[in-house]
Structure 1
């Protein structure tokens, strides 16, 4: 269980998902959480979870040992300016896409320890994928408590900061890409006569089950594909259609585009 006070600056979809998951899993006592968001609706949501509501960003920092910065990239400078010198000597996690630790330090009054993180939205259902920068200056006990939070709502990988943009392109945007694939699968099912709701449910469960087999059974994706594709069968016909349509190249280019955009932020 987390023993330090955790502050959240920005309790929107991602910040809220991380906070809710940590509370729901039991690793973070509600008494140890401090929240501020400029949106009254987000503050009302946090109030319903029983956490401490702070009056502003600076108040969050003064009340907390570890602070999560969960604002949009364009709001980062303003949010950190409002923290004034209250971040000095504290530990700060940042999930702000495209903003490096070096850039964050130029916006901060003081010298906090900083850990950059790339999350994704399935954290909302305790199935997130989190990349934590291995090159950080957190104290050992701080990093251990942070890992408790993210392990409670998904899987955690440690990567050097120069690879965070690649993570952004892959798992950061990945839920949108997977959703598009599910939608396309369902459209195909509808074209073949399936009711829309049935097609969505079957397509989504198929993706969920396939991912679970790869992770839980440690199966290579190619091996799993081979398990399903019988010689001369229906599945290999479908695989050929995907190859003809350039699916692999399109997906690779998709990850490239997302990663490059992250680098330009």
Structure 2
């Protein structure tokens, strides 16, 4: 259990998912967490989790040893300006998409240590995927604390900062893309007569199980495909349809477009 005081600036979808997952896992004691969000609805949600509610961004920083900045990119400069000098010599974790460490430093009055990372919303169900910058100036203890927070609610991959935009597209936006594929699979099942609820459950569980085969059994995706595609069978017919529809190219283009947008934020 982490004994350092942890502050959270921004408790929306992503910040809230991380905080909720960390609290539920038991790695963060609620009495050691301080939260502020400009949205009263988000503050009420945080209150329900039993954490300390700060009066503003500066109060979060003054009360905490390590601060998680989880605001939208367009709100980062304003939020950091409200911290005043309270971030000086503190440790700050940033999940602000598209905003580099250099840009963050230019927004801050003081010289905090900064760790940039890219999370995703499945952290709420302890299945998050976190890309953490390997080039950071956190102390060894602070980095271990960060890893302990995120490893309890998902998996961690250390990447250099210049690859964070790629991670933003892949694991950051990935839940939306995977959900779209699951929805499309379910639509196909419904077209063939399956009840909608049944189709969603079968499609979602299939995606979950396949992912576990890759992560836990370390099977190559192509190997899983070959395991299922019997000669002259039904699955190879479906694979042919996906190839004719340009599925691979569309997905690659999807990640490229999202990564390029991240670079422009």
Kindly state the Cα deviation for residue 191 of structure 1 after the two structures are TM-superposed: 1.1
Matched residue of 2:99: which SS?
coil
The equivalent of 2:6 in structure 1 is 6
Matched residue of 1:71: which SS?
coil
Matched ranges for 1:94-173 at <5 A: 94-173=94-173
Kindly state the Cα deviation for residue 132 of structure 1 after the two structures are TM-superposed: 0.4
1-structure distance, mates of 2:21, 2:201: 25
- Provide, for residues 128-153 of structure 1, a one-character-per-residue CA deviation record: whole Å limited to 9, x for no partner: 00000000000000000111000010
2-structure distance, mates of 1:81, 1:61: 12
The equivalent of 2:199 in structure 1 is 199
1-structure distance, mates of 2:72, 2:188: 36
The equivalent of 1:56 in structure 2 is 56
2-structure distance, mates of 1:17, 1:120: 8
The equivalent of 1:16 in structure 2 is 16
The equivalent of 1:236 in structure 2 is 236
2-structure distance, mates of 1:51, 1:143: 23
Matched residue of 1:3: which SS?
coil
- Provide, for residues 46-93 of structure 1, a one-character-per-residue CA deviation record: whole Å limited to 9, x for no partner: 111111111100000001000000000010000000000000000000
Kindly state the Cα deviation for residue 95 of structure 1 after the two structures are TM-superposed: 0.3
Kindly state the Cα deviation for residue 124 of structure 1 after the two structures are TM-superposed: 1.2
Matched residue of 2:35: which SS?
strand
Tell me how large the CA RMSD over aligned residues is: 0.6
- Provide, for residues 184-233 of structure 1, a one-character-per-residue CA deviation record: whole Å limited to 9, x for no partner: 11111111111111111111111011001111101000001100011111
Moved runs in structure 1, 4+ residues, more than 3 A?
Answer: none
The equivalent of 1:218 in structure 2 is 218
Q: Given the alignment of the two structures, is residue 35 of structure 1 paired with residue 44 of structure 2, yes or no?
A: no
What is the TM-score of this pair, normalised by structure 2?
A: 0.99
Matched residue of 2:88: which SS?
coil
The equivalent of 1:77 in structure 2 is 77
Matched residue of 1:50: which SS?
coil
Gaps of 5+ in 2: none
2-structure distance, mates of 1:210, 1:127: 14
Matched residue of 2:253: which SS?
helix
